[in-house]
Chain A
Amino acid sequence: MPIYLPIAELSLDVFMLLAIGGGVGLLAGMFGIGGGFLITPLLIFLGVPPAVAAATGANTVIAPSVSGVLSQWRRRAVDLKIGAVLLAGGVAGSAASVSLFGLLSRLGQIDLVVQLTYALLLGSVGVMMLVEGLRALRRVRTPGSPLRRLHWHTWLHGLPLKLRFPKSKLYLSVFLPLGLGLIVGALSGLMGIGGGFLLVPAMIYLLGMPTSVVVGTSLLQIIFVSSSVTWLQAWSHQTVDVMLALVLIFGAAAGAPLGARLGAKLKAEQTRVLMALLIVAVALRLGLNLVLTPAELFSVETHLVVEQ
């Protein structure tokens, strides 16, 4: 059954979109991520213009993040103070990247930049997660191995303006969460992702936050950054397709609880390795696109002379 998407300006099958939303929701529920990094490339693959895919991806990510934060909030697993600092950075970063998005679109380089950041970022994060996950799996099998360090101490931790974050039991410079928020915010504007797959490892390894509050706090950050990206893209480029987002959200809402149940059956280490494999696969696919000789060297972007 086709549905006409007024902003993407094409028809897609409703059931296919629901299935995509459901599949992404399943993975999101299983791994505790928004799934934006899967939605945007999938939409582009279906023929949705990249600008619309990124903006609508950001809109879609809001919904699973809200339901995620709600359940984490009930478990008191959200650090509002560090969340607020991350958020300030995130909103500033997303505002900058939405303008950058417009500039790169005009220059005809947006696809390249999006694919390149996707490939590099997903690739490096995925490989790191995979190595770490496999090591953890081996540790589980051989008990008695030495404990790993909780987090790395670098020059970053010597920065001034230190603040106490009681919920996370941290005392660190405000510039660390602010900078992290800025970077993730900038990437989400560009790539239409929530940034959970970046934020979660960074919060654990870089900031040294306890794992119990990481998921809830990162989801809180994702809600606000994705909302800010959605609004900015809608306002400045009119690229948010509400119709498309709602169908995807509906599918994701059905898939997420199923994924959460599946995820609960797996061991944490196994889940991490599976998620790392998924991320590496997406990165490889996008990376190959950039390196392999394309079938068509020419691409076209059209503008109507008279807007009606």
Chain B
Amino acid sequence: MRRALLAAAVLFLLAAPARAQPLVADLSSHLIAITTGFAGTEVLLFGATEGQGDVVVALRGPESEAVVRRKSRILGVWVNRDEVTFTGVPSFYRVAASDRIEDIAAPATRARHQLGVHYLRLGTREARPAAETAMFREGLLRNKERQGLFASEVGQVLFLGPRLFSTRFHLPSNVPTGAYTVEVFLIKDGQVIAAQTTPMFVSRVGAGAEVYEFAHRRAASYGILAVLLAVASGWAAGALFRRA
């Protein structure tokens, strides 16, 4: 019995490279450059599946910590009072599916692979009643959505024929920089039968990158330069005005 199993495993391993991959996908660009004229951009994901199934794509930005604060009224003035710190919050999040995501994947599957803003696995630093935490979490999602960093709406993965698929993600101008992951899932009968992860990087290039680097690496000199630039332009404007 054991020998039979072993033989089957060896056969499977030997056969694996020869078989067609069930899922391949790639991005139109792995490096999103934020230039001086950057006003947001689109990134195209395309791929092919082997056999039937639905495709779900999740785009996640670098992880961050988010302090969520709630205002309360004190002496007639609205003041930030309670706060909850969430950990493992993607700084950017989008999901797209080839069909209604509720029909493709059961809640358990969505929770396991974090498919949809309500299925993100977020930790908290403070221990609070579950109902409280849920309210703060909703507040976090609303804020992220308003800033265009999260989208609760599921995007559309389009199938071009039975095997080829593609989807587009819009990255707004305030897209956070850093290392992103794009996860592509092939789901059949509610089960993930294949998955692929592709990296994507968002980084500043050109003048913007240099200003940012300078401001953070050599903060003292940057401060002096900022002052001198303002003084010089004020001086120049004064001299021009005098002549006019």
Contacts and interface: CB of A to CB of B under 8 A. Distances in A.
State yes or no: do A and B come from one complex. yes
Interface string B55-93: 000000011111111110100111110010000010100
Given A10-B174, A230-B226, A243-B211, A298 B68 contact: yes
Nearest to B67: A301
Contacts of A256: 237, 241
A175 interface: no
Question: How extensive is the interface on chain B, given as a class?
Answer: 35 or more
A308 B165 CA distance: 33
B230 A299 contact: no
A4 B227 CA distance: 21
Nearest to A301: B67
Contacts of B207: 6, 243
A249 B240 CA distance: 14
A307 to B, nearest CB: 8
Interface string A47-69: 10000000000011011111110
A231 B227 contact: yes
A294 B146 CA distance: 15
A302 B89 contact: yes
A98 B242 CA distance: 35
B226 A70 contact: no
A240 B215 contact: yes
Nearest to A9: B174
A232 B222 CA distance: 11
Contacts of A291: 76-78
A107 to B, nearest CB: 8
Contact of B178 (A109, A290, A304): A304
B185 interface: no
A147 interface: no
B231 interface: yes
A130 B203 CA distance: 50
B78, B79, B224 — which one has the most chain A CB atoms within 10 A of its CB? B78
Given A4-B208, A238-B216, A257-B241, A300 B234 contact: no
B162 interface: no
A257 B236 CA distance: 13
B235 A299 contact: no
A250 B70 contact: no
A63 B226 contact: no
Contacts of B204: 4, 6
A6 B208 contact: yes
B37 A4 contact: yes
A11, A68, A111, A298 — which one has the most chain B CB atoms within 10 A of its CB? A298
Contact of A294 (B78, B136, B140): B78
Nearest to A74: B242
A293 B229 contact: no
Contacts of B230: 59-60, 62-63, 66, 227, 230, 245, 249
Contacts of B211: 6-7, 242-243
A241 to B, nearest CB: 8
B173 interface: yes
B119 interface: no
A299 B233 contact: no
A306 interface: yes
A4 B38 contact: yes
B79 to A, nearest CB: 6
B208 A235 contact: no
6 contacts: A9-B177, A67-B235, A234-B219, A300-B68, A300-B144, A305-B62
Given A9-B174, A298-B71, 10 more contacts: A4-B39, A63-B234, A66-B234, A116-B77, A242-B226, A249-B234, A253-B236, A290-B77, A297-B71, A301-B66
Interface of A: 1-7, 9-11, 47, 59-60, 62-68, 70-71, 108-109, 111-112, 116, 223, 227, 230-236, 238, 240, 242-243, 245-246, 249-250, 253, 256-257, 290-291, 293-294, 296-306, 308
Closest 7 pairs between A and B when the two form their complex, measured CB to CB: A298-B139, A66-B234, A234-B223, A67-B238, A63-B234, A11-B173, A62-B230
